[in-house]
Structure 1
Amino acid sequence: MAPDPTRLFASPRARRRALFHALLATLLLVGVTILLRRQVAFLADAEAARAYVRGFGVWAPLALIVLQALQVVLVPVPGQVLAAVAGYLFGPWWGTLYNVVGIGIGSAAAFWLSRRFGRGYVERMVAEDALATFDGFVERRGLLTLFVLFLLPGLPDDAICFVGGLTHIPLRRLVVVAVVGRAPAFFLANVFGDLLATGDVGVAVGLLVFVTGLSALGYANRERIARRLNEWRR
């Protein structure tokens, strides 16, 4: 039986795992907030937080760039979370620039690692359903389709980087497409962070709801999107 393209989780086990991770993340967030309530109160003052970060000079942007690069390869947190933090601390334009640099480095590393160590490595790094959906896809349809995959919200961008590395497309072109395709979503995340910093909470919430809705639609329909793109230009 073909998989339902509108199903959010591949199996009940995947659903339980996602709910467990969400509960664990919530508990950790609450615990950290309680333990560090003084620091949280300080961070809630955007001007004070930005002034504090500026005190570190070039090291603060470098730290963000390194973290953003590592999240592509290691996937400990969604990149958009770091992007929102960057928007809060650095503003939408500088925050986006630092994020794009980090994403470029991380994407290049993911492409290179999958190309260097091959399919076995990718199978260990990428979820089975994502690999099944996008395996060989970029090789067949080319860079323009890869750009669309990166541009659409809700698709597993980091997993697509690893899968894309299995192609014969030159590494430089893969990196350019990954950076350009992912930049709009990261810019919106930075704008969200900046809106929180400037106190425009209502607009920030509206933007968050809009982007989250698009991402949910993209994720729920990822197989359908892949099929449509695979049929494109035939």
Structure 2
Amino acid sequence: MRRAGLVVLALLVVALAVVAQLADIPDGAGLRELVRTAGPAAPVVFLAVCAFGTAVFFPKPVLATAAGLLFGVGWGSVLAIAGFTAGAMIAFTVARMLGRDAIAGWMGERLKVVEEVFARRGVEATLVVRLLPIVPFALANYGAGVTSVRGRDFAVGTALGLVPSTVLAAVLGDALSDLGSPRSIVALSIWAVLAVAGLWWGRSLVKAARVDT
């Protein structure tokens, strides 16, 4: 039964990723029009779109950019972060229910060190993952569910880790669509700094866990 749950989880993640690639996903303009038609309920609709979209591999930068354009940097960032965190928790909960028990029995020595980091310092470990742009956001949500990180720590770490990238996307809009523009250079530079900081922080956590064990 444990292995069956893990197989179902793997198939679910692959299926969602494939559908996200093949589906006709609306661009920023289409998303903004969809939310505008909701009228006064637009913030609630947008939050729900962010939550559901996050769980099904909808491109997060599109949603973060739309948040800034629709609601302004401040309010838009709050809505996006809340929606992304809710979606992350949906994916986390699904993975925890289906795959955690199976994974726990297959831990090698290196993975046990990572497990120790997530168990003892879940907020920091989650923050590190969020600072690394090379780790797909949606995939990290499902992956975290099979670790020993507490749900509360994962939620807090996710919300805090989303602040830099979400605010940056809301401020700079679609700057990354023009890689030669000054705005895109600023965005890429900041993301590079965050990635380096995440790598350094992650190595420090792993070293500390090895010393403790």
1:158 to 1:92, Cα distance in 2 relative to 1, 3 A: same
Aligned match of 2:163 in 183, 196, 205? 183
The residue type paired with residue 41 of structure 2 is W
Matched residue of 1:75: which SS? Answer: coil
The residue type paired with residue 207 of structure 1 is R
Q: Residues 56-205 of structure 1 correspond to what in structure 2 (within 5 A)? A: 56-77=38-59, 79-119=60-100, 136=115, 138-139=118-119, 142-193=122-173, 205=181
Q: Are 2:213 and 1:231 equivalent residues in the alignment? A: no
Tell me the CA shift for residue 92 of structure 1: 0.4
Aligned length: 176
The residue type paired with residue 74 of structure 1 is V
1:72 to 1:107, Cα distance in 2 relative to 1, 3 A: same
Paired with 1:170 and 1:191, the residues of 2 have a C-alpha distance of 32
Paired with 2:188 and 2:62, the residues of 1 have a C-alpha distance of 12
Tell me the CA shift for residue 180 of structure 1: 1.1
| Equivalent position of 2:187 in the other structure | 211
| Equivalent position of 1:46 in the other structure | none
Paired with 1:89 and 1:68, the residues of 2 have a C-alpha distance of 13
Paired with 2:40 and 2:82, the residues of 1 have a C-alpha distance of 14
1:188 to 1:121, Cα distance in 2 relative to 1, 3 A: farther
Tell me the CA shift for residue 90 of structure 1: 1.3
Q: Which ranges in structure 2 are unaligned for 5 or more consecutive residues? A: 1-20, 104-110
Tell me the CA shift for residue 219 of structure 1: 7.5
The residue type paired with residue 117 of structure 1 is L
Identity %: 26
Paired with 2:133 and 2:52, the residues of 1 have a C-alpha distance of 21
Paired with 1:119 and 1:170, the residues of 2 have a C-alpha distance of 12
Paired with 1:121 and 1:98, the residues of 2 have a C-alpha distance of 35
Tell me the CA shift for residue 102 of structure 1: 0.5
Paired with 1:162 and 1:140, the residues of 2 have a C-alpha distance of 20
Compute the TM-score of the two structures, normalised by the length of structure 1: 0.57
Tell me the CA shift for residue 120 of structure 1: 9.4
Paired with 2:171 and 2:102, the residues of 1 have a C-alpha distance of 35
Paired with 2:81 and 2:40, the residues of 1 have a C-alpha distance of 16
Tell me the CA shift for residue 231 of structure 1: 2.3
The structure that has the greater radius of gyration is 1
Q: Structure 1, residues 31-51: CA drift from partner, whole Å, max 9, x if none?
A: x99xxxxxx9xx6xxxxx89x
- RMSD of aligned Cα (Å): 4.2
